[in-house]
């Protein structure tokens, strides 16, 4: 997903020293550091709980959802937050929409439709190594229109196919990885972060960013508005970044006709789309169409569209309840996302982000907003070296940076869209940037040095594309 905090294996023990560190963070913020004059003591304690929770999602003394539930309890007991307010995140429509869309991704995998989509692209353009890289990216882009998890797309669907194709050419982790595997793994991952940036419902973090944009800047984001704003820079990045990875990490094998033949054979075995697969495909296409329509029809909410889609899958048994229950990541996202959404609102209510913007903005008095804008985006981007989740990054840095840039005179829509796109692209920097990166990295196809080297090259390319091309495109769209 761009992404959800990493869900740990159930058997992993609680790490008490890390829990003590979180308690220490709360105590220092809430009871040692004096609150700003404009903030009441109770609100300052809530700020302490908020940052202790964020630290918990980074240090992971226990699985992310458990950290969030402990944080909710802290908001109630230590911050005096009313119970109904503390649990309000779980009644938010976007939380339920993410859950429904995650279950939809399960149906795509179980029915075989997601794999078929990948095979279509491989058969069409997979006769060269570079063509395979683009095929992996196009698969991710197609699924990103409505699958709100980079892990469900890249790690669960695209990665196994890339591994199979690498094995087809006897490219395995180790010395033979340079034949093809190293390139495919780095290319599919760098492409996946672009896919997450291009579509609103491609990541649970994106919906959180949408809620924060409305709360902090009064900018309403829809599926159509996000897609339109990211279309041109996204297409340019989709063309450039796979080619850049090919130049930086060239495979020794250039021609891959067997991959296209393999895909053709697999599709022949699958036969025509029918039955369960046809139902899932119809629902998936219908969801996208109605999500676009919901951007223009006020009564047709995105969450209603998602609920109707899941209702069709359940009633036709294209998705069974047992299969839905086994989609552990969907329920995990539901727990942490609802809690984090509430905490983001509570932080906004305290006024901390506004105070930060006023204090930091005073350093740039008289400096033109475009200069501050570019500098802030670069800082925001490379700060992700310190984060293992785009969601945590967003919750910690998006509100203050949004308030800062709007405060220095940057147009609110430009600030909102630039930051939401950048938030996804940051995940390409490291082997821990999202929950997907360690899954691919531990396979051993890509060394740590090469992963970071490609990540840095891709980061420069993305910044060089999304900022200038984005500003030009948003000017044409009338956003500033």
DSSP conformation letters of 331-377:
HHHHHHHHHHHHHHHHHHHHTHHHHHHHHHHGGGTTS-HHHHHHHHH
Tokens 């869309």 identify what position? 101
Q: What are the E-state strand segments in 163-236?
A: none
In a domain, 53, yes or no: no
Would you say residue 430 lies in a domain? no
Tell me, yes or no, whether 51 lies in a domain. Answer: no
Asked if residue 65 is part of any domain, the answer here is no
CA distance 466 to 421: 8
d(CA 278, CA 322): 21
Q: Domain for residue 62, yes or no?
A: no
Please, what is the end-to-end C-alpha distance for the chain in angstroms? 31
Whether the CB-CB separation of 135 and 115 falls below 8 Å is answered with no
pLDDT at site 6? 41
- At 464 the pLDDT is 97
Rg (CA), the chain: 22
Tokens read off for 125:
């353009």
Which residues, other chains included, contact 134 with Cβ-Cβ below 8 Å and sequence gap of 6+? 121, 125, 242
Q: Torsion-angle region of residue 5: left (phi > 0), alpha (psi -120 to 50) or beta? A: beta
What domain range includes position 227? Answer: 93-328
Local structure of residue 34 (DSSP, 8 states): P
- In the numeric block, the tokens 């000017």 are attached to 475
Q: For residues 252 and 412, what is the distance between their CA atoms, to the nearest angstrom?
A: 47
Instruction: Identify whether 369 is part of a domain.
Output: no
- 375 occurs within a structural domain: no
Q: What CA–CA distance (Å, rounded) separates 433 from 451?
A: 11
Closest CA to 171 of 258, 113, 76, 80: 258
Q: Quick one: tokens of 301?
A: 């909410």
Between the alpha carbon of residue 318 and those of residues 203, 209, 278, 323, the distances in Å are 23, 31, 9, 10
Instruction: Give the global pTM.
Output: 0.85
Model pLDDT, residue 272: 92
pLDDT at 13: 66
Read off the tokens for 368.
């033109």
Per the structure, the count of domains in the chain is: 1
Helix axes 390-407, 352-361, angle to 10 degrees: 60
User: Helix, strand, or coil here: 128?
Assistant: strand
Say what angle helices 93-111 and 113-125 make with each other, to 10 degrees: 70
The string of DSSP letters for 361-426 reads HGGGTTS-HHHHHHHHHHHHHHGGGG-S-HHHHHHHHHHHHHHHHHHTT--HHHHHHHHHHHHHHG
Residue in 413, 385, 419, 381 with CA at minimum distance from that of residue 399: 419
Q: Would you state the pLDDT for residue 337?
A: 85
- Cβ contacts of residue 442 below 8 Å, gap of 6+? none
Asked whether residue 432 is domain-assigned, the answer is no
Please, where are the H alpha helices in 218-327?
223-248, 257-270, 275-294, 302-315, 321-326
Over the chain (480 residues), the average pLDDT of each successive run of 10 is 44 76 93 88 92 86 89 94 93 88 88 92 94 95 88 86 91 93 95 95 89 88 95 97 96 93 92 93 92 86 91 95 90 88 85 77 81 92 87 86 88 95 95 85 92 96 96 94
Neighbours of 16 (CB within 10 A): 10
Q: Do 246 and 187 touch, CB atoms closer than 8 A?
A: yes
């Amino acid at each position: 997903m761009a992404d959800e905090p990493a869900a740990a294996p159930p058997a992993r023990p609680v790490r008490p020293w890390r829990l003590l560190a979180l308690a220490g963070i709360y105590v220092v913020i809430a009871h040692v550091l004096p609150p700003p004059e404009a903030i009441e003591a109770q609100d300052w304690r809530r700020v302490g709980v908020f940052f202790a929770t964020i630290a918990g999602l980074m240090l992971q003394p226990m699985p992310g959802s458990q950290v969030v539930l402990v944080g909710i309890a802290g908001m109630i007991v230590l911050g005096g937050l009313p119970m109904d307010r503390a649990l309000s995140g779980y009644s938010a429509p976007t939380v339920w929409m993410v859950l429904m869309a995650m279950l939809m991704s399960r149906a795509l995998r179980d029915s075989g439709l997601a794999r078929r989509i990948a095979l279509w692209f491989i058969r069409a353009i997979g006769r060269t190594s570079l063509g395979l890289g683009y095929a992996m990216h196009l698969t991710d882009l197609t699924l990103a229109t409505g699958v709100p998890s980079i892990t469900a797309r890249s790690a669960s669907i695209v990665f196994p196919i890339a591994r199979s194709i690498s094995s087809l050419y006897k490219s395995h982790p180790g010395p033979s990885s340079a034949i093809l595997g190293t390139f495919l793994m780095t290319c599919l991952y760098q492409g996946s972060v672009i896919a997450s940036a291009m579509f609103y419902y491609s990541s649970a973090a994106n919906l959180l960013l949408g809620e924060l944009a409305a709360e902090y800047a009064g900018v309403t984001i829809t599926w159509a508005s996000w897609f339109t704003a990211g279309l041109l820079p996204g297409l340019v990045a989709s063309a450039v970044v796979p080619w850049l990875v090919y130049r930086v990490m060239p495979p020794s094998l250039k021609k891959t006709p067997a991959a296209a033949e393999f895909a053709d054979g697999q599709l022949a075995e699958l036969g025509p789309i029918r039955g369960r697969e046809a139902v899932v495909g119809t629902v998936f296409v219908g969801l996208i169409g109605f999500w676009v329509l919901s951007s223009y029809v006020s009564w047709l909410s995105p969450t209603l569209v998602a609920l109707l889609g899941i209702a069709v899958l359940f009633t036709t048994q294209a998705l069974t309840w047992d299969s839905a229950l086994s989609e552990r990541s969907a329920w995990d996202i539901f727990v942490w996302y609802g809690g984090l959404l509430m905490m983001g609102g509570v932080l906004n209510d305290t006024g901390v982000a506004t105070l930060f913007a006023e204090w930091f903005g005073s350093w740039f008095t008289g400096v033109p907003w475009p200069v501050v804008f570019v500098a802030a985006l670069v800082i925001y981007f490379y700060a992700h070296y310190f984060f293992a989740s785009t969601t945590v990054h967003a919750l910690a840095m998006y509100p203050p940076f949004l308030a800062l840039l709007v405060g220095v005179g940057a147009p609110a829509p430009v600030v909102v869209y630039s930051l939401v796109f950048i938030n996804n692209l940051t995940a390409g920097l490291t082997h821990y940037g999202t929950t997907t990166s360690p899954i691919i990295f531990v396979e051993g196809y890509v060394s740590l040095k090469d992963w970071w080297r490609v990540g840095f090259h891709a980061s420069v390319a993305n910044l060089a594309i999304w900022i200038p091309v984005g500003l030009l495109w948003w000017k044409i769209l009338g956003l500033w």
